[in-house]
Amino acid sequence: MQVLGIDPGTLCTGFALLTWDGSVGRVVELGYWRPSCTRWVDRIRDLYDAVEAWLQGYGPDAVAVEAPFVHPRYPRSGLRVEHVLSVVVTALARNGYTWTEYPASVVRRSVVGAGHADKSAVRRYLYALLPETRRWAHMPDDAFDALAVAYCHSLAVLSPPVGRR
């Protein structure tokens, strides 16, 4: 099973493709989409084109997206991230994909064990859980956040429900 994780952001949108063979996970692709233009409308268009091209090239089995957090003191930033999320999910929908959204606290809890963990802790745990990720150490946090989203979704889908028989 191949799981695509996406971390939407206004300047950089991270993505990660994680494949599973039984209980062994392997990172296939880790990166980010960073539009080169500065006008908002051009950045949105470029992001849509990049996501669509990527989906057509890789064809993941499942997609998970980190839900934006809107800080009450900075609502405008949160709205911009919502715009980015809308562009991403539009590209997903137009290409026939469904997706699952996870709040950052759920993603961090699934990787680190604590929902309030910082980005460096998430990265360290991903290095331990998926050792080959060290080769992408130069990637921005957005890419590792996307990998954490893919890992979180993988656990939710591949793990048997607790307490059920």
46 catalytic residue (yes or no): no
Q: How far apart are CA 131 and CA 27, in angstroms?
A: 9
State phi, psi for 24 to the nearest 5 degrees: -105, 120
61 catalytic residue (yes or no): no
Exactly one of 7, 29, 141, 145 is catalytic; which is it? 7
Strand order in the sheet with 62-66: 24-33, 13-21, 2-7, 62-66, 100-102
141 catalytic residue (yes or no): no
How far does CA 115 lie from the centroid of its chain?
16
Determine the longest span between alpha carbons in the chain, in angstroms: 54
Exactly one of 29, 66, 141, 145 is catalytic; which is it? 66
For tokens 């003191």, the residue is: 73
Indicate the residue type of 42: D
Exactly one of 29, 141, 142, 145 is catalytic; which is it? 142
For tokens 């469904």, the residue is: 98
Which residues does the annotation mark as catalytic? Answer: 7, 66, 142
